[in-house]
Chains A and B, each alone.
Chain A
Amino acid sequence: MATETLTLGKALNAGMRKALENDPKVVIMGEDVGKLGGVFRITDGLQKDFGDQRVIDTPLAESGIIGTAVGLAIRGYRPVCEIQFDGFVYPAYDQIVSQVAKMHYRSRGKLTIPMVIRIPFGGGIGAVEHHSESPEAYFSHTPGLKVATCANPQDAYVMIQQAIASDDPIVFLEPKRRYWEKGPVEVDQPLPEAYPLQAARIARPGTDATLIAYGPMVRTCLDAATAAAEDGRELEVIDLRTLAPLDLGQVYESVRRTGRAVVVHEAPSNIGLGAEVATRITEECFYSLESPVLRVTGYDIPYPASRVEEEYLPDLDRVLDAVDRTFGW
């Protein structure tokens, strides 16, 4: 099996290239995705190789991007839409939650909207406002939408292809601060044999406490686990990968073993993914818990100016501090 070392961004690019090759109905659309290859170069070279009918620079309007993609989907295409930054998805919010999410249901199953909405999300890149947000809860809260996020190049490569192949509309969140991180990617594994899209995965086994994260925070939790191991504490790290629907079987199994759970995300805590995960753990693993499920999250404030974002974002210290607290209970 051929393994290449790719950045997460290049892995997404390679995955989309494969999807374009394998299915003539796949089209990529968004602002600056053509010649420029996107502001993060995730679609670099694709217009050159597949033409401007399949890799489409759209007018500057997010509602237009998603709304016309709905029409293309009704017509039999599989649109892969790029929203340039998390903070710019909201003009398309109506199309996403009222139209994309409901078409299948309203048509009593006669229509599918096999759309992927790619959104670079999260902070940590020193950007100005609207470029560092974590909107996953808005979409995860919407029945009819699926939400997935990758945390490493291998998953990026496979999951983007799986998302494009899926008939469900999927909001695909890309951890932009991890775009440049490298890792091995098996490039010729057949898609059906790959690890499934709608499944969590143990990113690092451990015995003493369970860290649950997704997207950009998986790396942070892995680093925290490495640091904890030096102090003799073995943390299990679970990468959720799919946020809607959540796949928590392995989480329950893990928490039953460790008795302690900490959920980590960048988004604010209030009504966030952590609240959902913590509640379900409590419901399923109540008698195994040695402490309440804790959350380490962004604060319940607008994403702050970049010079204080390091204080806002969960980091290794805050994660380990929470782990300590689960032991101090």
Chain B
Amino acid sequence: MAKGDPGVSTRGRRAVPRSRKGATGDPELVQLLTPEGERLESVTGPDGTEYRVDFTDEEYRGFYRDLVLVRKLDAEATALQRQGELGLWASLLGQEAAQVGSGRALRTQDMAFPTYREHGVLYCRGIDPIMPLGLFRGVDQGGWDPNEFKFNMYTIVIGAQTLHATGYAMGVTMDGKTGTDEGEAVIAYFGDGATSQGDVNESFVWASVFNAPMVFFCQNNQYAISEPLERQTRIPLYRRAAGFGFPGVRVDGNDVLASYAVTRHALDNARHGQGPSLIEAYTYRMGAHTTSDDPTRYRIASEVEAWQAKDPIARMKAFLVKQKIADDDFFAEVDEQAKRESVHLRERVLEMPNPEPSSMFDHVYPNGSPLVDQERAQFTQYLESFEGSAH
């Protein structure tokens, strides 16, 4: 595959404006869809890579549908937390395009290692959005099979998953699964704050030295809880990659098309055996860090408003309207579907049973432990001692 070709089908090419470099006024930012919904045909990244994607109308509408659905389901989860049905929720509000763009760029054989915020990527992998809610409701700690879904469990300890992803990617190489169009690639998600962790820096070293088929996807949402980006770095994060010996690129993380393009390019490089790369998806956390957080303590409303103008969904909608790719019926139908799916999600969350208390003793060891067995027996006996009492 030619360098710079993100590997997208060219069916139904639509006439779009000529390419521009640095349309944002930020020569470092790869963008294919402006906040006003203007489409750029191609854009050249800082290392000379030309990014271009073209989609059928159906595919464009599909991106829009995903963005809306992902936002709606996220809002539903926030509401469920407010009503006491979830213990906590980490909202992706504002980061939909970074997640849908990169999530759609993954191929079936690719493996993803998320943080705790990648509900949009999960959705794009075709996974039931109920899956991570057990963790946030407090009924389990994830509990899914990462290999089945090609989607690792959520990782809350900041940065740890980047090493897991790198090791997995090393295994892909050892298995001889790179070097062709059908090669496998691995993507690790992490935040701007995470870039300060030793684990993340070590994973850069490992991936580089072992030429691992890795994409490091950093969603720079400008905050690590209350701490702004300046607390973690003095240079644009994507430029850190150069010091580790692999390419880095900053993409407009509120632009779903550019997010797709750069991720697809990086994944394809990785699957072809060309090693790791770092993507910095420049975006903004529109909501609180989690439902436990109060962002009014550390950031001003005008900053949030400025980012509101760069909303990832609004710009996609503007593009669809301007290009007459979608009409009011379509938008109404998407809203309807979003509503249906969120109601369905809510119903199922309310029905999630509490775990059987003695199940906490399950799966501590694959080969069992006499100590755990003994404690489970004592626990059961202890519970039985209350039976028939008023307790």
Chain A residues at the B interface, C-beta cutoff of 8 Å: 31-32, 34-37, 39, 57-61, 63-64, 87-88, 90-91, 126-130, 270, 299-302, 304-308, 311-312, 317-318, 321
Q: Which of B1-9, B49-57, B196-204, B258-266 contacts A (4 or more CB under 8 A)?
A: B196-204
| B194–A301 CB distance below 8 A | no
Given contact pairs A36-B298, A301-B364, A321-B382, A60 touches B194 in the complex (Cβ within 8 A): yes
| A311–B198 CB distance below 8 A | no
Which of B134, B140, B225, B355 has a CB less than 8 Å from the CB of A31?
B225
Interface size class of B (residues with CB under 8 A): 35 or more
Does B332 count as interface, using CB distance less than 8 angstroms?
no
Q: Which residues of B contact A301 (CB under 8 A)?
A: 360-361, 364, 372, 375
| B198–A91 CB distance below 8 A | yes
18 A-B pairs with C-beta separation under 8 A: A31-B225, A32-B226, A32-B227, A36-B226, A37-B297, A57-B227, A59-B232, A63-B198, A126-B87, A128-B88, A128-B138, A128-B156, A304-B141, A305-B140, A305-B141, A308-B354, A318-B382, A321-B385
Which of B136, B141, B157 has a CB less than 8 Å from the CB of A88?
B157
Which of B138, B298, B357 has a CB less than 8 Å from the CB of A306?
B138
State A302–B361 Cα separation when bound (angstroms): 9
State A222–B10 Cα separation when bound (angstroms): 72
Does B137 count as interface, using CB distance less than 8 angstroms?
yes
Q: Which residues of A contact B292 (CB under 8 A)?
A: 39
Tell me the nearest residue of chain A to B84, going by C-beta: A126
Q: Which residues of B contact A308 (CB under 8 A)?
A: 354-355, 357, 359-360
| A307–B194 CB distance below 8 A | no
| B355–A34 CB distance below 8 A | no
* Residue with the greatest number of chain B CB neighbours at <10 A, chosen from A126, A301, A302, A305: A305
Does B306 count as interface, using CB distance less than 8 angstroms?
no
Tell me the minimal C-beta distance from B213 to chain A in angstroms. Answer: 26
CB-CB contacts of B157-201 with A at 8 A, as 1s and 0s?
A: 110000000000000000000000000000000000110111100
| B360–A299 CB distance below 8 A | yes
State A302–B136 Cα separation when bound (angstroms): 17
Which B113-151 residues sit within 8 Å CB-CB of chain A?
134-141
| A60–B224 CB distance below 8 A | yes
Q: Which residues of B contact A318 (CB under 8 A)?
A: 382
| B355–A300 CB distance below 8 A | no
Does B210 count as interface, using CB distance less than 8 angstroms?
no
Does B371 count as interface, using CB distance less than 8 angstroms?
yes
| A39–B157 CB distance below 8 A | no
Does B379 count as interface, using CB distance less than 8 angstroms?
yes
Q: Which residues of B contact A312 (CB under 8 A)?
A: 360
State A31–B375 Cα separation when bound (angstroms): 37
Tell me the nearest residue of chain B to A40, going by C-beta: B292
Tell me the minimal C-beta distance from B234 to chain A in angstroms. Answer: 11
Does B322 count as interface, using CB distance less than 8 angstroms?
no
Tell me the minimal C-beta distance from A301 to chain B in angstroms. Answer: 5
Does B391 count as interface, using CB distance less than 8 angstroms?
yes
Does B348 count as interface, using CB distance less than 8 angstroms?
no
Q: Which residues of A contact B226 (CB under 8 A)?
A: 32, 34-36, 57
Does B20 count as interface, using CB distance less than 8 angstroms?
no
| A60–B88 CB distance below 8 A | no
Given contact pairs A59-B232, A91-B198, A306-B138, A299 touches B375 in the complex (Cβ within 8 A): yes
- The main secondary structure of chain A at its interface with chain B is loop
| A35–B297 CB distance below 8 A | yes
Q: Which residues of A contact B372 (CB under 8 A)?
A: 299-301
Does B231 count as interface, using CB distance less than 8 angstroms?
yes
State A300–B361 Cα separation when bound (angstroms): 9
State A64–B140 Cα separation when bound (angstroms): 32
Tell me the nearest residue of chain A to B135, going by C-beta: A128
| B361–A60 CB distance below 8 A | no
Q: Which residues of A contact B293 (CB under 8 A)?
A: 39
Tell me the nearest residue of chain B to A94, going by C-beta: B198
Which B213-240 residues sit within 8 Å CB-CB of chain A?
224-227, 231-232
Tell me the nearest residue of chain B to A67, going by C-beta: B198
| A307–B139 CB distance below 8 A | yes
Tell me the nearest residue of chain A to B358, going by C-beta: A311
State A102–B88 Cα separation when bound (angstroms): 39
Tell me the nearest residue of chain B to A317, going by C-beta: B391
| B297–A57 CB distance below 8 A | no
Which B68-114 residues sit within 8 Å CB-CB of chain A?
87-88
Q: Which residues of A contact B141 (CB under 8 A)?
A: 128-129, 302, 304-305
| B357–A311 CB distance below 8 A | yes
Q: Which residues of A contact B197 (CB under 8 A)?
A: 60-61, 91
Q: Which residues of B contact A321 (CB under 8 A)?
A: 382, 385
Tell me the minimal C-beta distance from A295 to chain B in angstroms. Answer: 11
| B360–A87 CB distance below 8 A | no
Q: Which residues of B contact A306 (CB under 8 A)?
A: 87, 138
State A145–B226 Cα separation when bound (angstroms): 31
State A36–B227 Cα separation when bound (angstroms): 9
Q: Which residues of A contact B87 (CB under 8 A)?
A: 126-128, 306
Q: Which residues of A contact B369 (CB under 8 A)?
A: 300
Tell me the minimal C-beta distance from B199 to chain A in angstroms. Answer: 7
State A232–B205 Cα separation when bound (angstroms): 66
Which of A59, A87, A129 has a CB less than 8 Å from the CB of B196?
A59
Given A36-B226, A39-B292, A304-B360, 6 more contacts at CB 8 Å? A35-B297, A61-B196, A90-B157, A300-B369, A305-B139, A305-B140
| A60–B137 CB distance below 8 A | no
Given contact pairs A36-B298, A317-B391, A60 touches B139 in the complex (Cβ within 8 A): no
- In the A-B complex, list the 10 residue pairs whose CB atoms are closest, starting with the nearest: A306-B138, A36-B226, A59-B196, A304-B360, A60-B193, A311-B357, A35-B298, A307-B138, A61-B196, A60-B196
| A36–B360 CB distance below 8 A | no
State A165–B359 Cα separation when bound (angstroms): 46
Q: Which residues of B contact A31 (CB under 8 A)?
A: 224-225, 227
Q: Which residues of A contact B139 (CB under 8 A)?
A: 305, 307
* Residue with the greatest number of chain B CB neighbours at <10 A, chosen from A91, A130, A317: A91
| A305–B224 CB distance below 8 A | no
Which of B134, B136, B232, B359 has a CB less than 8 Å from the CB of A60?
B232
Tell me the minimal C-beta distance from A75 to chain B in angstroms. Answer: 22
| B371–A307 CB distance below 8 A | no
Tell me the nearest residue of chain A to B141, going by C-beta: A129
Q: Which residues of B contact A88 (CB under 8 A)?
A: 157-158
* Residue with the greatest number of chain A CB neighbours at <10 A, chosen from B134, B226, B369, B379: B226
Tell me the minimal C-beta distance from A317 to chain B in angstroms. Answer: 7
| B138–A59 CB distance below 8 A | no
